[in-house]
Amino acid sequence: MLTRYDTAPINSLSVDSQTGFLHAKNVPIARVGVFPYLKADGSLTMEAKLPDELLADSTVESANSKPVTDEHPNEAVTTNNTKKYMKGFTADNAHVDGDKLKVDMTITDSDLISEIQKGKQELSIGFQTDIAPVKGTYKGMAYDSVQRNIQINHVAVVRRGRAGHSVRLTGDSAEMVIDDKGEKQEMDYKVVHLSDGSDITVASNDVSKVTKLDADNSEKAKQVADIKAQIKALQAKLDKLQGTADANKADADKAQAKADSAEKELSDYKKKFNADALDDAVAKRMDLINEVKPFVGDSFDFKGKSERDMKIEAIKSVNDSIDFENKSDDYVDAYFDSLEDNHKPSSVVGFQDSVTKTDSAEKETFDRYHMADMIEKQMNGGNN
């Protein structure tokens, strides 16, 4: 079952009859999640807004009484430029609601009010943050670093917001990226409800792959359950045979022999079908797929591919001149590890001691083909 990040419209927009100002109540301006950012060198990095950071008291407080702008300015909003950028302001009631940060706001600019009434209703925060190079995953989405000490500078009304349609004046879930032709494309993120009852967030293009993998894992889980049932039956058989041996001295040797045989069979089953080992193997493969995917792209079919196959495909995506026919697994592993170490995304620090970011996907885009070309040139240069 698939679930979208949709939300019901917030029916709380009102116009002040005296001033004409537009008031919006309980507006979500940011949400927890993992988001892409384009770095100065053209590479993409995934940064996490985790609950402990975005929903911290200091971050929530920073959303109070802040300027509202029409799109993001190219600088922080201060007293020196409010006449140029400020089109309204947030109230002083910022608060947490689930995984979102919400606040009331008032729009005072007639042009922006007109745009909002015509449908321009998505929001994006402009903020300062420290970037911690800590890798991890949040609800199934892998990230390269964590945004910490988030301090909101302004809230922009934009055409398309990084936090998705659920962060808007009236309510759905998408971002914009620029494709290799320079055209805007919508990139949906969807929530996949897994068979174990948990939810993970993935790009829409990956939904079929994730659901297929989940189905495979579910089938393996059923096999494990069947094997455990067989083990339980064998254990009961062993207990019964052991009891018979104790109760009937005349047949003790014969019963003990059968018990020993059953115990060996039980041990063999446990070794062959160790559930923990199977879980570890599945988790290891999922981790490797996440490591390889940035190199081979979303369209790559991982089905039936061994660990060696996947690593070779990742290496050849940046340098296809290497012949692995007679290379050992250790050679492939070492080359792949080196590939990862040499091409991990790194943080970019700016705007004094912290980074001023704008959550607008119209400003932060990623071209996979351009990134792969740069990586290949760097690899070829390193080997020479």
Q: How confident is the model at residue 197 (pLDDT cuts 50, 70, 90)?
A: low
Are 159 and 260 found together in one domain? no
Residue 72's pLDDT is: 87
What percent of the chain stands above pLDDT 90? Answer: 28
Residue 321 placed within a domain: no
Strand partners, 309: none
* Domain-located, residue 306: no
pLDDT at 308 over 90: yes
* 11 in a structural domain: yes
Q: Is residue 26 part of a domain?
A: yes
Is pLDDT of 127 > 80? yes
Q: Does 35 share its domain with 145?
A: yes
Q: pLDDT digit string (tens) for 31-51?
A: 999 988 766 566 788 899 999
299 within a domain of the structure (yes/no): no
Residue 18: per-residue pLDDT: 94
Give the pLDDT confidence score for residue 280 in this predicted structure: 78
Look at residue 345 and tell me whether its pLDDT is greater than 60: no
Question: How many domains is the chain built from?
Answer: 2
Last residue of a domain, one of 172, 197, 227: 172
Same domain, 161 and 221: no
Lowest mean pLDDT among 22-36, 72-86, 161-175, 251-265: 161-175
Q: How far is CA 206 from CA 139, 188, 217, 250, 297, in A?
A: 15, 10, 16, 65, 11
Quick one: pLDDT band at residue 160, thresholds 50, 70, 90? Answer: low
CA distances from residue 209 to 202, 205, 214, 288 in whole angstroms, order as listed:
10, 8, 8, 15
At residue 212, the pLDDT reads 75
Residue 264 counted as domain residue: yes
Candidate from 2-11, 157-166, 208-217, 269-278 with smallest mean pLDDT: 2-11
Please report, for residues 6, 111, 193, 200, 210, the alpha-carbon distance to residue 197 in angstroms, rounded to integers and kept in the order given: 20, 47, 7, 10, 14
Question: Mind listing the pLDDT tens digit for each residue in 55-112?
Answer: 999 999 999 999 999 988 888 899 999 999 999 999 999 999 999 999 999 999 999 9
Q: Is the pLDDT of residue 266 over 60?
A: yes
On whether both 166 and 215 belong to a single domain, the answer is no
pLDDT value of residue 151: 93
Residue 269 confidence (pLDDT): 65
**At residue 180, does pLDDT exceed 90?**
no
Q: Are residues 70 and 134 in the same domain?
A: yes
Sign of the CA dihedral with 63 first, then 68, 72, and 78 last: negative
* Calpha distance 2→112 (Å, rounded): 36
| pLDDT mean across residues, the chain | 75
Instruction: Return d(Cα 345, Cα 366) in angstroms, integer.
Output: 13
Name the band, by pLDDT with cuts 50, 70 and 90, for residue 355. Answer: very low
Domain that holds residue 130: 2-172
Position 40 scores a pLDDT of: 57
Q: Is residue 75 located within the same domain as residue 137?
A: yes
- 282 has a pLDDT exceeding 50: yes
Angle in degrees, 0-180, between the axes of helices 368-383 and 329-342, rounded to the nearest 10: 110
**pLDDT tens digits, residue range 209-251?**
667 777 777 788 888 888 999 999 999 888 888 777 777 777 7
Averaged pLDDT, 361-370: 36
pLDDT at 136: 96
Q: Is the pLDDT of residue 360 over 50?
A: no
If asked whether residues 31 and 149 sit together in one domain, one would say: yes
Which whole number is the average pLDDT over 138-148?
93
Q: Please choose, from the candidates 83, 77, 148, 158, the residue with its C-alpha nearest in 3D space to the C-alpha of residue 123.
A: 158
Q: Are 51 and 219 in contact (CB under 8 A)?
A: no
The CATH number given to whatever domain includes residue 11 is 3.20.16
Q: Nearest Cα to 336, choosing from 298, 296, 363?
A: 296
Handedness of CA 275, 281, 286, 287 (dihedral sign): positive
pLDDT of residue 214: 73
Residue 91 Cα to chain centre, angstroms = 31
Whether residues 221 and 153 fall in one domain: no
Residue-level pLDDT at 247: 74
Q: Are residues 154 and 217 in the same domain?
A: no
Whether the predicted pLDDT of 185 surpasses 50: no
pLDDT at 200 (0 to 100): 58
Domain membership of residue 31 (yes or no) is: yes
pLDDT classification of 350: cutoffs 50, 70, 90: very low
Question: Rounded to whole angstroms, how far apart are CA atoms 185 and 73?
Answer: 23
Between helices 329-342 and 307-316, what is the axis angle to 10°? 50
Alpha-carbon span 205 to 340, nearest angstrom: 24
pLDDT at 2: 27
109 assigned to some structural domain? yes
Task: Give the pLDDT score at 96.
Answer: 95
28 and 151 in a single domain? The answer is yes
Whole-angstrom distance, CA of residue 64 vs CA of residue 129: 17
pTM: 0.43
Give yes or no: residues 156 and 215 share one domain: no
Residue 198: count other Cβ atoms within 10 Å of its Cβ. Answer: 11
> Are 117 and 262 found together in one domain?
no
* Domain stops at, among 236, 253, 276: 276
- Length of the chain counted residue by residue: 384
